[in-house]
Structure 1
């Protein structure tokens, strides 16, 4: 009986492996975007999502960015709730997705939006490179943590482990 239970859990883990990952990525992306908007846009008022126009346009762009972050966060949580309902949550893989999603979004923001598109800077100061380095190095650290967690789940899947969905 125990082998059948482990086989069922392993099947469930493998079957929902991608969904655990994508739920985490979506949640992580939304969470870091929400944090960015709340802290750097609202509390510190360092910039708006789009700073190349009037303050009113900047505030509207922040509102749209805020809505995007909430849709991503809630979408990731709905996927997570569905995984829990199916008893298919693989927490280590999900957390790997959270870190990966947060890091990829932050790196995209730091390179594409800040430097290539010049929608806004992290902060408008003379020595912005310090802020850029901290921002992008932080993003790389998040990506590495996420990749390591995901790699561990890939190894345990290949070895036939990680049968316990909630505890793996």
Structure 2
């Protein structure tokens, strides 16, 4: 579950960076300085997400090679990682540390509600999947 949570967090970081930083130009990872610093911070985020993907998939491949991979745990972990990253970003990065907002020049409340609501939905899916896999008999958990 943890291996796929790492993958999920890295995938959500990539979606955030590609869509909101690069395509829409809504913000940089760190917006409290110059645009050059913002671009460097995006590069650091991109490096971290790539390292997360490599580490997560290496761990996943090792579990699979050893026959220890549970697809049900993997699915739960993926959703927990996706939602966990998004909620951390929405609460810690956006509100507590104020590294950036989702979008500038507009009322941030609808964006915050949508961002954190989507995070909670992803976490809820992951939690339901995790509970379901732990309620299965041990022989069926590797399915």
Q: TM-score, normalised by structure 2?
A: 0.96
2:139 maps to 1:161: yes
Which residue matches 1:99? 79
Identify unmatched segments of 5+ residues in structure 1: 1-20
2:44 maps to 1:64: yes
Q: d(CA) in 1 for partners of 2:86 and 2:105?
A: 20
How many Å apart are 1:108 and its aligned residue?
0.7
Which residue matches 1:119? 99
| Matched pairs, number | 143
How many Å apart are 1:125 and its aligned residue?
2.6
Q: d(CA) in 2 for partners of 1:68 and 1:49?
A: 12
How many Å apart are 1:142 and its aligned residue?
0.4
Identify the match of residue 25 of structure 2 among 45, 57, 71: 45
2:70 maps to 1:90: yes
Instruction: Give the aligned CA root-mean-square deviation in angstroms.
Output: 1.0
Runs of 4+ in 1 over 3 A off after TM superposition: none
Identify unmatched segments of 5+ residues in structure 2: none
How many Å apart are 1:160 and its aligned residue?
2.8
1:12-23 aligned at under 5 Å gives the runs 21-23=1-3
Which residue matches 2:113? 133
How many Å apart are 1:89 and its aligned residue?
1.6
Which residue matches 2:89? 109
How many Å apart are 1:161 and its aligned residue?
3.5
